[in-house]
Copies of this chain bind each other. A is one copy, B any other.
Amino acid sequence: MRLSRYFLPVLKETPADAQIVSHRLMLRAGMIKQASAGIYSWLPLGYKVLRRVEQIVHEEQQRAGHIPVLMPTLQSADLWRESGRYDAYGEELLRIRDRHDRDMLYGPTNEEMITDIFRSYVSSYRDLPLTLYHIQWKFRDERRPRFGVMRGREFLMKDGYNFDLTKEDALHAYNRHLVSYLRTYERMGLQAIPMRADGGPIGGDYTHEFLVLAETGESEVFYDSAVTDLTFGDREIDYDSVDQCQAILEEFTSRYARTDETHDAAIFDRDVPSERQKSARGIEVGQIFYFGTKYSDAMGAAVQGPDGKQVNVHMGSHGIGVSRLVGALIEANHDDKGIIWPEGVTPFHAGIVNLRQGDAATDAACDELYKGLAAKGLEALYDDRDERAGAKFATMDLIGLPWRVTVGPRGLEKGVVELTSRRTGESEEMSVTAAIDRLAQIYGV
């Protein structure tokens, strides 16, 4: 994309009402614009990151064997009356009345609707196990929305639901979700630590939250420092293997890691050597639940078991905050100049800065680079505006593309351009062709 034809409304001033760094940087980098309290428009740069995050979530869910559907945003109140949550949910539930005076609501989650889908079609244990998920906009009418997309009212979430014949099978689904979430966050360049959590309004005997450590996190967390050494890496997982998924759950959850809601100082002291006892702040970016037959009992979601008897299915629900992750990624990856995108989610693979727009040789080298990257499937943001170098560098630093190629007449005399890492600030001179090859290597294309 040529910047002269793009829509990247960066702000020079720091917005006064944005309290946390991700909110400030998303506004300054022209990623979002507030539409109403807690409701945002995603401008071109922000939309690209949102889609990259969404795509990784889709890929990892499908790798785990989970099947995508798409449920609507508006739901009938009747379904929620069946589960008892229509009255219980409180003021965060946005209640709506349509032109025929029917009670509707903007879904904050979909346990009822997915259970209704399940009970409408599935009647035999032979169709299990089954996990359906969707990525759809949700609404929670927060009393005091703040922190930008980190705590918005309209937010994009992946929520998945497993249906299993037995508790044992459902716990395998739980473990499978834990494994797939670990992979998902790591692909985005995030370390998200599974922590024992509280069931909250969804309920649940087994539940873990995934937290990204960041100074601005809303939760206080306590953990054994050994958990931050764990990495998933590129191990191959057979998601059908009960033993493999169980082993990974144990590897990642056997050490102490809890939020303030479930923290127990006595157990912390007993189980964790004092030099490994850490407390920090964390941002919740996902949660998994096993809640047994809570919804299948209330809504009559049963299958015929192998013995011919009707069995209410065991369920769980599993969420990743897709729009919130964009904020969390920035909280974990920035410096005083701006955002530093991990390669996995960057909106453009590289930026090209033309130091002398209008100079024939410089323009030609930029074009060669731009087209050469495109031929490798890499998308560059080419700053072809007639602006000072300083302004171009400041914009690139602010929007945080991980790699910048600087092209100017002086370098070209020596046959080189400059490749700069946003994270380290280190630069290296090389030919245009070498820069293309290096970037292709970095992105594995």
Contacts and interface: CB of A to CB of B under 8 A. Distances in A.
Given A67-B6, A68-B47, A141-B99, A117 B33 contact: yes
A98 interface: yes
A143 interface: yes
A341 interface: no
A154 interface: yes
A266 to B, nearest CB: 40
Interface stretch (A71-79, A177-185, A274-282): A71-79
A232 interface: no
A37 B75 CA distance: 10
A412 interface: no
A7 B130 contact: yes
A428 interface: no
B154 A72 contact: yes
Interface in A89-127: 91-92, 94, 96, 98-99, 102, 104, 106, 113, 116-117, 120-122, 127
A179 to B, nearest CB: 18
A217 to B, nearest CB: 25
A44 B72 contact: no
B43 A117 contact: yes
Contacts of A84: none
B67 A44 contact: yes
A65 B5 contact: yes
A39 interface: yes
B141 A40 contact: no
Given A35-B113, A99-B91, A71 B9 contact: no
Given A36-B104, A67-B44, A154 B98 contact: no
A406 to B, nearest CB: 24
Given A74-B39, A99-B143, A120 B69 contact: no
A41 interface: yes
Interface residues of A, number: 54
A222 B116 CA distance: 44
B73 A154 contact: yes
A151 to B, nearest CB: 15
A42 B70 contact: yes
Given A99-B91, A117-B33, A42 B69 contact: yes
Nearest to A143: B99
A381 interface: no
A139 interface: yes
A15 to B, nearest CB: 12
Interface string A137-154: 101010100000000011
Contacts of A99: 91-92, 94, 141, 143
B73 A73 contact: yes
A288 interface: no
B94 A98 contact: yes
A125 B92 CA distance: 43
A212 to B, nearest CB: 23
A-B pairs with lowest CB-CB distance, top 6: A9-B121, A42-B70, A36-B76, A41-B71, A99-B141, A39-B72
6 contacts: A42-B69, A44-B132, A47-B134, A74-B139, A94-B99, A98-B153
Interface of A: 5-7, 9, 30, 33, 35-37, 39-44, 47-48, 50, 65, 67-76, 91-92, 94, 96, 98-99, 102, 104, 106, 113, 116-117, 120-122, 127, 130, 132, 134, 137, 139, 141, 143, 153-154
Given A9-B122, A41-B113, A44-B68, 8 more contacts: A9-B120, A35-B75, A36-B74, A39-B72, A41-B71, A92-B99, A94-B96, A98-B141
